[in-house]
Amino acid sequence: MTTRRIAVHEMIFDKKKRARSILRILRRLYPNADCALEHRSAFELLISTILAAQSTDVNVNRVTRALYQKYRGPADFLKVQPEELENDIHSTGFYHNKARSIIGTCRLLVDEYDGKVPDTMNDLVRLPGVARKTANVVLGTWFKKNEGVVVDTHVGRLAERMALTWNARDSKDAVVIEKDLMELFSRKDWTCVAHALVWHGRKICMAKKPACALCDLSDLCPSAFSFENLPPVKGPTRKRSLRQRSERR
pLDDT tens, position by position, 124-164: 999 999 999 999 999 999 999 999 999 999 999 999 999 99
Residue 9: predicted pLDDT: 77
Alpha helices, DSSP H, located in the chain: 3-9, 12-29, 42-51, 57-70, 74-77, 82-88, 95-112, 121-124, 132-141, 153-161, 174-184, 190-203, 238-248
| 28 and 47 part of one domain | no
- Provide mean pLDDT across the span 16-42: 97
* 216 in the same domain as 155: yes
pLDDT band with cut points at 50, 70 and 90 for residue 242: very low
Residues 91, 155: one domain? no
**Of the residues 75, 108, 141, the one at which a domain ends:** 141
The domain that holds 156 is classified in CATH as 1.10.1670.10
Burial class for 9, CB neighbours closer than 10 Å (0-12, 13-18, 19+): exposed
| 59: amino acid identity, one letter | N
DSSP codes, 94-112: -HHHHHHHHHHHHHHHHHH
Mark which of 141, 168, 183 sits at the end of a domain. Answer: 141
Going by C-alpha positions, the residue among 70, 73, 69, 86 that lies closest to residue 47 is 73
User: Is the separation of the CB atoms in 195 and 34 below 8 Å?
Assistant: yes
pLDDT digit string, tens, across residues 201-211? 999 999 999 99
Do 162 and 198 belong together in one domain?
Answer: yes
pTM, two decimal places: 0.85
First to last CA, the chain: 38
The answer on 115 and 49 residing in a single domain is: yes
Three-state SS for 127?
A: coil
**Which position among 119, 123, 145, 152 bears the catalytic label?**
152
Domain end position, chosen among 124, 141, 158: 141
Looking up residue 133, the CATH number of its domain turns out to be: 1.10.340.30
Instruction: Specify whether 171 is located in the same domain as 216.
Output: yes
Total domains present in the chain: 2
Same domain, 47 and 87: yes
* Same domain, yes or no: 48 and 27: no
* Active-site entry in 15, 98, 133, 180: 133
Kindly state whether residues 67 and 23 are assigned to the same domain.
no
Asked if 100 and 125 sit in the same domain, the reply is yes
Residues in the chain: 249
Q: Are 127 and 105 in contact (CB under 8 A)?
A: yes
CA–CA gap between residue 249 and residue 242 (Å, rounded): 11
Closest CA to 160 of 192, 201, 189: 201
Spacing of C-alpha 212 from chain mean position: 21
- 235 burial level (CB within 10 Å; 0-12, 13-18, 19+): exposed
How far, in Å, CA of 69 to CA of 80, rounded? 14
Which whole number is the average pLDDT over 157-181? 97
**Which pLDDT belongs to residue 6?**
61
Active site residue 152: yes
User: 181 with 135, same domain?
Assistant: no
Residues 183, 97, single domain; the answer is no
CA atoms within 13 A on the CB side of 12: 8
Contacts of 150 by beta carbon, 8 Å cutoff, 6+ apart: 133, 136, 137, 140, 191, 194, 198
What is the span of the domain harbouring residue 108?
42-141
Per-residue pLDDT at 227: 81
